[in-house]
Amino acid sequence: MAPVWFALRAGMRRRWRALVSLALLLGLAGGVVLTAAAGARRTDTAYPRLLTWASASQVTALLGGLDPAYFAALHRLPQVAAVATAMQYNIALPVSGGLPDNQVEVLASSDGSLGTTVDRVKVLQGQMFGSGAASEAVIDPGTAARLHLAPGDTLHLTAVPYYDASQDLNPAKLRVPLTFRVAAVGLFDDQVVPTTSNSSEPRILLSPGFSRTALATRGYGTKGSIDYLAQAYVRLKPGTDPAAFSAAAQALSSRYPGVRVNGGLVFTDSSPQVAGTQRAIRPLAVALALFGALAGLIALAVIGQLLARQMTLDTAGYGVLSALGMTRGALLALAAARLGLVTVAGGVIAVGIAIAASPLLPIGAARLAEPQPGIGLDPAVLGIGFAAVVLLPLVVLAAPAVRAVRQARGSAATATPPATRPTARPSWLAGALTRAGTVTGGIGARMAFEPGHGRTAVPVRSALAGTAIAVAAVVAAAVFGTSLVGLVSSPQQYGQNWNQQLSLGFAAVPASYAAQFAAATPSVTGYALGDIGQLDIAGTRVAAVGVNQVHGDGYLTMLAGRPPANAAEIALGAQTMRALGVRIGQTVRATVDWATGHPGPATQHLLRVTGTVVLPDFGQSGLSSDTDLGNGAVVSPTLLSSIQRF
């Protein structure tokens, strides 16, 4: 190996600037690729890592009446890992000169468990309040932006106490103004990408001290008290089926009469919301991965030809070395060593660039979800990426290196200088253009497509391949971006074929009111009535909506088939249809899932699948999971509007 080492040192002294330049170029290109690859992985895993960090709940139980004994019994169920309890109060945001805005979720946990041990809040600004704190609040980023609040500012709220509607009282005079100090602006784990109506609402978590105030401790339904809804956020043990837990918790509720007060017990499974959030984040991760793959191909093609050019220059002296007795193996080792120095240095630079750029990642909503922002080290991606930067150029140039060594030894044996040996056939295009009379065209084609000879030869094929890949990448990015912008700016393309939606929450909108409103509003050209609920199909909970097109048409976008025409038919989203393994024309057994304990056995309905439908967001805060794109079902409104008995 002494001759190899001697020749390597001699070559480094002569061409170290070229080798350093190649290493820097390789490191820069490899750094871009590694940054994109690590960013794709970090973006795709950000939300699952946030859920793990936050000890996120999988099921939320809503109780019409507070029963602390039931909460304690719920915690003792074998499927339960942790339970956080809270009260949702009828507290609104004051509006100057108008009615208070009650489209806000105001919570307080008496033991401080919500936001700390279960569904831990990711603090973006400020500090989380302590368990003994009084008159402090954590608000979500949307509320902070809307009210222009920051930690330390004063948050004004309005409590709406219970009163007897039969009395001739002015409700405005009964409102109680409340003030809190904003302790922190924090992200709740279900608000990374608001996929349900519940997660889209402003959210305020009050300090535990509020739940011990006189205003909050008066009995439900008593004069001067605040209406509330007791809630339990349940984190299940790994592998537990949320539906099985809900059934067990439902059976347990029969022992606690307090649970039945004011509406019974409602369970909400967070898995559809989690899946919807991950679906919203994944396109960004895929885009980063595709960018990294295309950048890697371009870099390999462009830098590969530069390395090949350098290797061609290096082989000029191989004939002399061979004549001096250096074997073919030694010449190959010398070529590999020279390339290896460049690729190893490039790999180290690439890893350094990827680490330095990691604070810029992840991107999009995943950046908000990232539980550990800043410098990120992904040993798997960095290790594999380093190996790829080091080894791929060596693999690609292995065959050319063998040919160069063979030609050098052959030229040494025949005393023919390599520069005089032809290396490529002339371009047929250049000849055709010259014969056609376009001399300048022929010269241009010859300069573009003929690699030349000897030490002046250039790698034409790899250059063309790199250019083609680069152009394809730019075109693909432009097409993808244009298509995405067109989709998000055209709600009709994802099934929202209306301009406004009216909902009274848990109450119903009378059909007569809708008809009067439509008749009195000339700008209304059509309207539909419907209901929202859940179905249980083959053990799978499916968000459902019933739509009755009263005036106008086209409220549903069908991919195939037709909308359901009666209570014995159903249309499904494409993903739901695949998950259930059914096709148009088949029948499914469905149960209306009230998620409550209404007496009597559940009634199964045999429904015929009539079509595949595109579903936008339909949902009811706190009652059911929303439909979205390919997930959900459309049925007759009468199927979801049966009278519930408690």
The runs of H, that is alpha helices, within 561-601 are 574-580
| 646: confidence class by pLDDT, cuts 50, 70, 90 | very low
pLDDT at 517: 81
pTM of the model: 0.77
Q: Is the pLDDT of residue 247 over 70?
A: yes
Q: Which uninterrupted H or E stretch holds 544?
A: strand 540-551
User: Letter for the amino acid at 104?
Assistant: V
Instruction: Tell me the C-alpha distance between 36 and 39, whole Å.
Output: 5
Peptide bond into 362 cis (omega under 30): yes
| 455: confidence class by pLDDT, cuts 50, 70, 90 | low
Instruction: Tell me the C-alpha distance between 641 and 637, whole Å.
Output: 6
pLDDT at 184: 97
> Percent of the chain, pLDDT > 90?
35
User: Letter for the amino acid at 148?
Assistant: H
| 597: confidence class by pLDDT, cuts 50, 70, 90 | very low
Long-range contacts made by residues 533-536, C-beta under 8 angstroms, separation at least 24? 533/592, 533/593, 533/594, 533/623, 533/624, 533/640, 534/592, 534/593, 534/594, 534/595, 534/624, 534/625, 535/590, 535/591, 535/592, 535/593, 535/633, 535/635, 536/590, 536/591, 536/592, 536/593, 536/602
Q: Is the pLDDT of residue 186 over 90?
A: yes
Give the orientation angle of helix 379-396 with respect to helix 2-54, to 10 degrees.
150
Q: Is the pLDDT of residue 613 over 60?
A: yes
| 600: confidence class by pLDDT, cuts 50, 70, 90 | very low
In whole angstroms, how far apart are CA 622 and each of 448, 556, 625? 67, 25, 8
| Cα 481 off chain centre by | 17
Structure confidence by residue, pLDDT tens digits, 416-429: 444 444 445 676 66
Average pLDDT over residues 167-182: 76
pLDDT at 580: 93
Question: Mean pLDDT, the chain, as a whole number?
Answer: 81
| 130: confidence class by pLDDT, cuts 50, 70, 90 | confident
Q: Is the pLDDT of residue 598 over 70?
A: no
Contacts of residue 152, Cβ cutoff 8 Å, sequence gap at least 6: 126, 181, 182
The answer to whether the CB of 303 falls within 8 A of the CB of 389 is no
Structure confidence by residue, pLDDT tens digits, 139-154: 999 999 999 999 999 9
DSSP conformation class of 304: H
pLDDT at 462: 64
Q: What is the CA radius of gyration of the chain?
A: 34
In whole angstroms, how far apart are CA 16 and each of 21, 250, 336? 8, 75, 16
Residue 178 DSSP SS3: strand
Who wins on pLDDT, 404 or 586? 586
Q: Categorise residue 594: left if φ over 0, alpha if ψ from -120 to 50, beta otherwise.
A: alpha
Structure confidence by residue, pLDDT tens digits, 389-413: 999 988 887 877 777 667 665 555 5
Beta bridge partner(s), residue 114: 118
Least reliable range by pLDDT among 49-53, 198-202, 400-404, 578-582: 400-404
Least reliable range by pLDDT among 26-35, 185-194, 399-408: 399-408
Tokens of 18: 């070229």
Structure confidence by residue, pLDDT tens digits, 92-119: 999 887 788 888 999 999 889 999 999 9
The answer to whether the CB of 351 falls within 8 A of the CB of 385 is yes
> Percent of the chain, pLDDT > 70?
78
